[in-house]
Structure formats: structure tokens, C-alpha cells
């Protein structure tokens, strides 16, 4: 059977997701690396390796035996989960979200974003005819792929040192028009603060300006808040877009439990905001999945609104801060100009320039994997503005992080 005849052009043109490719490559090399005392250490995926909160595990076990807990859930999510989402939005940001009209559960943010994107794009083949979604660059590697495989065009908004990682949307619009694209094709803007892979936050005035831009041009604002719980400086406390005037007219926000509670494999999150967008999204989703395991929703509802959950996040953030220090100290010894770099106070990522002797990030990451067994992600995977950099996820044990530094020293990796 000819795959080109079977699958659509957009899927045929897609590459395997970068993290999956890295995993496959690492598995191929694992035996050889282990033999030379360089068993792989993965600092690639944004997947915390610590155990989830004990209270979450206990509640999950307890709820699994309840009557009727094993049957289908509903697309929007059980009311106890949606109420917990609304409660969490109130506790964290002081915003009011209607659990009945403004929340829909998702199987993690990746599921939510991929489906939202394909629901709003009318697929086209010709570039200039495609619906456009503005995406942060560098940004989460899946955004561009999600847009492309939905038959849309992902247009980069550069996040650079010069613009303080807050691209001026009027400038992006002018450039887009100069490049021959039709501004009326812009369907949505994705913002992601704290940002993956940079770990940067935006100012409040910037967020207000993005909301005004979206209102003026009648564009959906999608705020990806995947890292909103991970911060270690009160001055850079993440926001919800709904703290800002007019946001509910044009915005939705995506949340996930993956990162704050270290449950990347268990899959739960929520989309909230503009009630019409949420309703359409839920309608679209109702034919695709039947919601999420009820016992899990119930256990998550508990952890999201309990002191155990908040204490867990507090401890996790303290641990990330400590892990970041281990990496920074070690990388400084290896010659990285740490004092000159913007060091994040959010997420568990470090975004660093590649050593001077390399001219591209892929080569450096390949060398580090093949020689030292350390898996990191080339900056180019996060967009065209990411070349020249690499991303480290400091999600493993302190001892392993120190071992990464020791191996780099022993194997001659310096800035
Ligand atoms: C910015 C961003 N958004 C969304 C996701 C997806 O998270 P999940 O599907 O685990 O909820 C990730 C995962 O790394 C991410 O970095």
C-alpha cells in the first residue's frame, strides 16, 4: 500500500517529534555508552523524575474502588474536576472562572492544543492561502508541527534578547504583510509564559498589549500556561491572562497537571476562558474521546485544592532552584559566561549558547550524547531563532546532574 495515497500530505510531510527521536537515538546507543561508563542521562524531556504527591496516589487508590467510577466520563470533565479548576484559578490568580461554562478537561495540554489548533484551521495546500497561527520562536517544538499537520501556517514571533523575549505584535504583523501573507488569515496567537525553552516571563504591560492586539484584530489568544506553577522568585510570579481587562472576550488558557505534580504520564489538564470557544472545543472533542478516567479526575481535583498539593509544589520549586544552582556552578567552571546570561527564575530549563567551536546546535548535542551519554536538546528544535543554543532540563537527581558536569569535564566539553 502506498502511504502517500493513504495519508494526507500534511501528515506525510511530518517528522517524528524531536523528543521521541532523541529517545530512539539514546536507546540505540545505550549499550555502547553503558559499556564505556557513560550510561545515558536524559536532560532532554521536560518530564520531572520525582514521585508524584503521596496524597494524590493515596486518593487515586481510594477512588478507584468507588461505585461507577470505571464508566465513561464526559468530554468537559466531571463537575468535581471543573470546580477544582475554577477554585485553583481563584486561589492562584484571583480570577473567576465559571466551572460549568468556561472549563473543559483535556488529556494533557498537548492533546488540548493539538485539537484546538485543528478545530480552528481550515486546511489549505498553498502557503499563502493557509490560516495562520502566530507562535513563539524559540517555543515548544510541538506548536509548529500541530499547525502544519492541521493544514495551517505557523508564523514565528521572535523571542530575542533585543525585544526582551516579548515580540511586538504590530512589528510581526508588518513583517508578515511584507512577506506577502494576508493578515486576515491570522486565526490565533499562542503565548507561553513562563516560556519553554527560555524560562522567561513577560511583563504585565506586555500581556495587556497582546490582549488589545487580539481584540483589535479579532484574533484568538491562546495562552499556554503549562509552567505557571514552576517559579522561584515572587517578582516573576506567573499570571493568568484572565487577570487582565478584556481577556475573556478573546482568550483561552491551557493548563496541565503534568509538570507541577510530576505526572507527565497520567495525562490531565484543562482549557478555560471564553465560554463560546470552550463550548465549541468541547463539542469537537465529544466525538474524539470520552473524557478522562473519573478516579483520576477526582484525585486530581483533591490535590489541586489541598494543602498537600501546594506544599508539594513548594518543595519541588525549592528542589529545582537547587538543581539549577548545581548546573550553573558546574557550567561556569566549564567556561560558560553565566553572569552574562539571563538565568530563568521559572520552569526547570536552562537555555545556553553552544560552545564556541561548534557552528550548529545539533552537532554539539550529538557529540555530547555520543561521547558523554548526556541527552540535551538542540536549540534549532525550538524554531529558527533557537539555533546556536541548547536546552537542558534539570529534572533528574542532584547526583546525576553533578555527574553530567563531571563527565563533561572529563570528556573535554568546555564553552
Ligand atoms: C509549553 C508546553 N506546553 C504544553 C506541553 C504539553 O504538556 P502535557 O501534554 O504533558 O500536558 C509542554 C510539554 O512539555 C510544554 O512544554
Q: What is the pLDDT of residues 109-145, one digit of tens each?
A: 999 999 999 999 999 999 999 999 999 999 999 999 9
Ligand 1 atom closest to Cα of residue 264: 10
Q: Ligand 1 in contact with 196 (CB < 6 A)?
A: yes
Residue 409 pLDDT greater than 90, yes or no? yes
Q: Ligand 1 in contact with 137 (CB < 6 A)?
A: no
d(CA 150, CA 34): 41
Q: Element (H or E) spanning 221, and its range? A: strand 220-224
Residue 314 pLDDT greater than 90, yes or no? yes
**Residue 408: predicted pLDDT:** 98
Ligand 1 atom closest to Cα of residue 106: 11
Query: Mean per-residue pLDDT for 274-278?
Result: 98
Q: Ligand 1 in contact with 75 (CB < 6 A)?
A: no
Residue that is written with C-alpha cell 465529544 in the block = 286
**Residue 357: predicted pLDDT:** 96
Residue 234 pLDDT greater than 90, yes or no? no
Residue 313 pLDDT greater than 90, yes or no? yes
Bridge partners, 349 (sequence order): 393
- pLDDT averaged over the chain? 96
Q: Which domains occur in the chain, in start order?
A: 3-39+310-410 (3.90.1150.10), 54-306 (3.40.640.10)
**Residue 40: predicted pLDDT:** 97
Q: Which of 256, 257, 296 to mutate to test the pocket of ligand 1 (most atoms within 8 A of CB)?
A: 256
CB atoms within 10 A of CB 389: 21
Query: Mean per-residue pLDDT for 220-242?
Result: 95
Query: Mean per-residue pLDDT for 347-373?
Result: 97
Residue 236 pLDDT greater than 90, yes or no? no
Residue 15 pLDDT greater than 90, yes or no? no
Ligand 1 center to 137 CA (angstroms) = 15
Query: Mean per-residue pLDDT for 31-48?
Result: 96
CA gyration radius, the chain: 21
Ligand 1 center to 375 CA (angstroms) = 19
Strands of 377-378's sheet in order across: 349-353, 389-393, 377-378
Ligand 1 atom closest to Cα of residue 139: 1
Distant-in-sequence, close-in-space partners of 225: CB < 8 Å, separation ≥ 6: 238, 240, 253, 254, 255
Ligand 1 center to 413 CA (angstroms) = 30
pLDDT band at 239 (very low <50, low <70, confident <90, very high): very high
Q: Regarding beta strands 377-378 and 389-393, do their DSSP bridges make them parallel or antiparallel, or are they unpaired?
A: antiparallel
Ligand 1 center to 143 CA (angstroms) = 10
d(CA 355, CA 334): 10
Give residue-wise pLDDT tens across range 202-226: 999 999 999 999 999 999 999 999 9
Query: Mean per-residue pLDDT for 186-215?
Result: 97
Query: Mean per-residue pLDDT for 330-347?
Result: 96
Longest dimension (CA), the chain: 63
Q: Which long-range contacts (CB under 8 A, 24 or more apart) does 165-169 make?
A: 165/195, 165/198, 165/200, 165/202, 166/202, 166/203, 166/206, 167/136, 169/134, 169/209, 169/210, 169/213
Give residue-wise pLDDT tens across range 50-82: 999 999 999 999 999 999 999 999 999 999 999
Is the link from the previous residue into 138 a cis peptide, with omega within 30 of 0?
A: yes
d(CA 394, CA 325): 10
Q: Regarding beta strands 186-191 and 349-353, do their DSSP bridges make them parallel or antiparallel, or are they unpaired?
A: unpaired
Ligand 1 atom closest to Cα of residue 268: 11
Q: Which of 22, 135, 137, 140 to mutate to test the pocket of ligand 1 (most atoms within 8 A of CB)?
A: 140
Amino acid at each position: 500500500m502506498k502511504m502517500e495515497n493513504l495519508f494526507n500530505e500534511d501528515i506525510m510531510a511530518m517528522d517524528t517529534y524531536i523528543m521521541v527521536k532523541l529517545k530512539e537515538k539514546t536507546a540505540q546507543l545505550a549499550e555502547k555508552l553503558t559499556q564505556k561508563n557513560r550510561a545515558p542521562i536524559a536532560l532532554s524531556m521536560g518530564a520531572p523524575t520525582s514521585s508524584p504527591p503521596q496524597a494524590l496516589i493515596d486518593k487515586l487508590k481510594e477512588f478507584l474502588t468507588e461505585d461507577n467510577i470505571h464508566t465513561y466520563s464526559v468530554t468537559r470533565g466531571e463537575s468535581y474536576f471543573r470546580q477544582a479548576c475554577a477554585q485553583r484559578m481563584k486561589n492562584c490568580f484571583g480570577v473567576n472562572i465559571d466551572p460549568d461554562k468556561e472549563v473543559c478537561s483535556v488529556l494533557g495540554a498537548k492533546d488540548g492544543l493539538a485539537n484546538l489548533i485543528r478545530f480552528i484551521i481550515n486546511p489549505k495546500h498553498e502557503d499563502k492561502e493557509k490560516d495562520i497561527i502566530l507562535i513563539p520562536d524559540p517555543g515548544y517544538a510541538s506548536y509548529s508541527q500541530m499547525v502544519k499537520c492541521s493544514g495551517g501556517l505557523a508564523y514565528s514571533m521572535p523571542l530575542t534578547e533585543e525585544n526582551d523575549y516579548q515580540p511586538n505584535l504590530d512589528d510581526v504583523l508588518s513583517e508578515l504583510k511584507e512577506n506577502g501573507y494576508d493578515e486576515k488569515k491570522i486565526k490565533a496567537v499562542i503565548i507561553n509564559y513562563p516560556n519553554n525553552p527560555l524560562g522567561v516571563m513577560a511583563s504585565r504591560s506586555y500581556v495587556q498589549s497582546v490582549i488589545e492586539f487580539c481584540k483589535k484584530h479579532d484574533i484568538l489568544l491562546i495562552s499556554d500556561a503549562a509552567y505557571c506553577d514552576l517559579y522561584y522568585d515572587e517578582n516573576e510570579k506567573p499570571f493568568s491572562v484572565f487577570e487582565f481587562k478584556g481577556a475573556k472576550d478573546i482568550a483561552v488558557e491551557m493548563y496541565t497537571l503534568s509538570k507541577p505534580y510530576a505526572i507527565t504520564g497520567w495525562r490531565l489538564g484543562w482549557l478555560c476562558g471564553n465560554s463560546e470557544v470552550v463550548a465549541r472545543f468541547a463539542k469537537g472533542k465529544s466525538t474524539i474521546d470520552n473524557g478522562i478516567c473519573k478516579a483520576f479526575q477526582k484525585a486530581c481535583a483533591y490535590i489541586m485544592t489541598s494543602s498537600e498539593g501546594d506544599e508539594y509544589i513548594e518543595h519541588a520549586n525549592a528542589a529545582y532552584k537547587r538543581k539549577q544552582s548545581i548546573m550553573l556552578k558546574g557550567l561556569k567552571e566549564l567556561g560558560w559566561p553565566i553572569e552574562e546570561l539571563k538565568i530563568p527564575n521559572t520552569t526547570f530549563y536552562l537555555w545556553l549558547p553552544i560552545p564556541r567551536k561548534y557552528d550548529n546546535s545539533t552537532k554539539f548535542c550529538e557529540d555530547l550524547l555520543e561521547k558523554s551519554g548526556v541527552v540535551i536538546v538542540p536549540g534549532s528544535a525550538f524554531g529558527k531563532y533557537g539555533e546556536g543554543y541548547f536546552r537542558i532540563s534539570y529534572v533528574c537527581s542532584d547526583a546525576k546532574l553533578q555527574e553530567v558536569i563531571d563527565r563533561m569535564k572529563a570528556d573535554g566539553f568546555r564553552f
